[in-house]
Amino acid sequence: MKYLILLFKLALFTTLVLVRLGEWDISHFYAGSKYQEPLDYYVNTIASIAIFLMFLDFVQFGTTWWYRRRHKIKRDDNFIIGVGQIYILLLVMGLVVGLLSLFRIDVRQLFTSLSIVFAGIAILTKDYISNMINGMIITFSGQLSIGDNVGIGSHRGKIMDITLQNIHLLNDDDDMIYIPNSLLLISEVINYTKREIKRTSIEFEIDLKHLKNVEELERILIETLGPFQDLIKPESHYLRVAEVKKDSVAMKFQYILKDPNKDLERQIRRRTTRRLVEIISEREKIADQIPDLPDSVGHAVI
């Protein structure tokens, strides 16, 4: 079906080119009519618009087909997305110019006479234009790709799509976050997928009164991941102290999966955080059962 549609487009494209070049004269269908002159104009204009749009479609199809064949890929990557974005821009521009031509409006004179207005529109739409340019830079740079697990500012998740305006990020709670492309220029971006070691990190903060020692907490967390030991590289567990605060400690529990898997990471993260809640709850109960010492006894102990 896809190739039949392509053949039909080629036949229609060839016909329109012949009409536009005058090799195939269809004016005899309305020759002698008082509307012959405007009909000639509209036939040529519509043919020109259709030729441009179909040529644009062929260029996009041929470019993506050649790229897929050369790199032997089936899914869309950054290059194909970038070509699609350029195609949309040129398509919109072509339609605008074509519609103006149908109304016999000289595009060059229009832009010249309305230059001040267009300058004001450019200022009002500068954020949109900035997002659009940044989106094209992102797609062709290769730094971020669809499917990458990234951290952008305070958000972390999997890139589901990159458009001219924003990045679609799916976080661990299955919330879709739309981040403007211009925000990437002023935010810290971490690409967890493109690092050589695919280390998974679970970040948390624990009150000092609930932490006896780091080694014990590390042992408990490793035991918690017992059901997943076959999927985790041996000796890759590590509990790291990220920051010591006045009343709490920020920590990172890290490990390396043999085969990176987003669903598996989510299961491990859920199991680990629930175990941390249980530990804190148990130690809170123990602390509540111990009566407060009188000040005199406290001073004597010190």
Last-in-domain residue among 156, 191, 226? 191
Apex 208 CA angle, 207 and 213, nearest 5: 120
Question: Is residue 127 one of the residues assigned to a domain?
Answer: no
Do 183 and 216 belong together in one domain?
Answer: no
What is the domain-level CATH number for residue 178? 2.30.30.60
Shared-domain flag, residues 169 and 204: no
Cα 44 to Cα 302: distance, rounded to the nearest angstrom:
98
Q: How far apart, in whole angstroms, are the C-alpha atoms of residue 63 and residue 81?
A: 12
Looking at residue 299, what is its pLDDT? 33
Per-position DSSP letters for 92-156, written without gaps between them: HHHHHHHHHHHTT--HHHHHHHTHHHHHHHHHHTHHHHHHHHHHHHHHHH-SS-TT-EEEETTEE
- Give yes or no: residues 270 and 184 share one domain: no
Distance CA 165, CA 179 (A): 8
Total domains present in the chain: 3
Is residue 12 located within the same domain as residue 101?
yes
Residue-level pLDDT at 295? 45
Which CATH number covers residue 267?
3.30.300
pLDDT reported for residue 178:
92
> Would you say residue 255 lies in a domain?
yes
Distances from the Cα of 139 to the Cα of 76, 153, 181, 260, 299, angstroms: 11, 19, 11, 24, 66
User: Residue 157 in contact with residue 174, Cβ under 8 Å?
Assistant: no
Calculate the CA 278 to chain-centre distance.
36
CA angle 108, 113, 115 (to 5 degrees): 90
87 lies in a domain?
yes
Q: Domain check: are 181 and 241 in the same one? A: no
The model carries a pTM of: 0.53
On whether both 204 and 152 belong to a single domain, the answer is no
Structure tokens at 92: 């919109």
170 assigned to some structural domain: yes
Give per-10-residue mean pLDDT for the chain (302 aa). Answer: 75 79 62 64 82 88 87 78 85 85 75 68 73 79 81 86 87 86 82 68 80 82 83 81 83 80 79 83 69 41 28
Q: How far apart are the first and last CA of the chain?
A: 86
Which of these, 15, 48, 41, 14, lies nearest to 27 by C-alpha position? 41
Q: Give the pLDDT of residue 156.
A: 85
User: What span, in angstroms and rounded, lies between the C-alpha atoms of 161 and 138?
Assistant: 12
Q: What share of the chain is helix, strand, coil (3-state, %, to 5)?
A: 60, 15, 25
- Same structural domain, 12 and 93: yes
Q: Based on the fold, state whether residues 254 and 236 are members of the same structural domain.
A: yes
On whether both 8 and 35 belong to a single domain, the answer is yes
Tell whether 120 is covered by a domain. no
Nearest-angstrom CA–CA distance, 204 and 217: 12
Does residue 180 sit in the same domain as residue 233? no
CB 166 within 8 A of CB 172: no
Q: Residue 119 domain-assigned?
A: no
Determine contact, residues 138/156, Cβ cutoff 8 Å.
no
The CA distances from residue 211 to 243, 247, 273, 283, in Å, are 14, 11, 15, 9
Q: List the structure tokens of 11.
A: 């036949």
Parent domain of 74: 2-113
